[in-house]
Chains A and B, each alone.
Chain A
Amino acid sequence: EAGVAQSPRYKIIEKRQSVAFWCNPISGHATLYWYQQILGQGPKLLIQFQNNGVVDDSQLPKDRFSAERLKGVDSTLKIQPAKLEDSAVYLCASSLDRTGPSGGYTFGSGTRLTVV
Chain B
Amino acid sequence: GDSVTQMEGPVTLSEEAFLTINCTYTATGYPSLFWYVQYPGEGLQLLLKATKADDKGSNKGFEATYRKETTSFHLEKGSVQVSDSAVYFCALHNTNAGKSTFGDGTTLTVKP
Q: Which residues of A contact B12 (CB under 8 A)?
A: none
Q: Which residues of B contact A106 (CB under 8 A)?
A: 46
- Confirm or deny: A100 has a beta carbon within 8 angstroms of a beta carbon on chain B: yes
Known: A105-B44, A107-B44. A45 touches B99 (CB 8 A): yes
- Stretch of B14-22, B65-73, B74-82, B101-109 at the chain-chain interface: B101-109
**A91 close to B44 (CB less than 8 A):** yes
Give the size of the chain B interface in residues (CB under 8 angstroms).
Answer: 23
B-facing mask of A1-38, CB < 8 A → 1, else 0?
A: 00010100000000000000000000000000000000
Q: Which of these, A42, A48, A110, contacts B89 with CB under 8 Å?
A: A42
For A50, give the chain B residue with the smallest CB separation: B98
Q: Considering the chains assembled together, what is the distance between the CA atoms of A43 and B103 in angstroms? A: 8
Q: Considering the chains assembled together, what is the distance between the CA atoms of A104 and B99 in angstroms? A: 12
Q: Which residues of B contact A110 (CB under 8 A)?
A: 42-43
Smallest CB-CB A-B distances: 8 pairs: A42-B102, A104-B46, A107-B43, A107-B44, A109-B43, A42-B104, A110-B43, A41-B104
Known: A42-B89, A42-B105, A103-B49. A109 touches B100 (CB 8 A): no
Q: Which residues of B contact A101 (CB under 8 A)?
A: 32, 34, 46, 49, 93, 100
**B98 close to A56 (CB less than 8 A):** yes
Q: Closest CB-CB distance, B69 to chain A, in whole Å? A: 23
Q: Measuring CB to CB, which residues of chain B are less than 8 angstroms from any residue of chain A? A: 4, 32, 34, 36, 41-46, 49, 51, 89, 91, 93, 95, 98-100, 102-105
Q: Which of these, A42, A55, A100, contacts B93 with CB under 8 Å?
A: A100
Q: Which residues of B contact A48 (CB under 8 A)?
A: 98
Q: Considering the chains assembled together, what is the distance between the CA atoms of A104 and B44 in angstroms? A: 11
30 contacts across the A-B interface (CB closer than 8 A): A40-B104, A40-B105, A41-B104, A42-B4, A42-B89, A42-B91, A42-B105, A43-B89, A44-B102, A45-B100, A48-B98, A91-B44, A98-B98, A99-B95, A99-B98, A100-B93, A100-B95, A100-B100, A101-B49, A102-B95, A103-B49, A104-B34, A104-B49, A105-B46, A105-B100, A107-B43, A107-B45, A109-B41, A109-B42, A109-B43
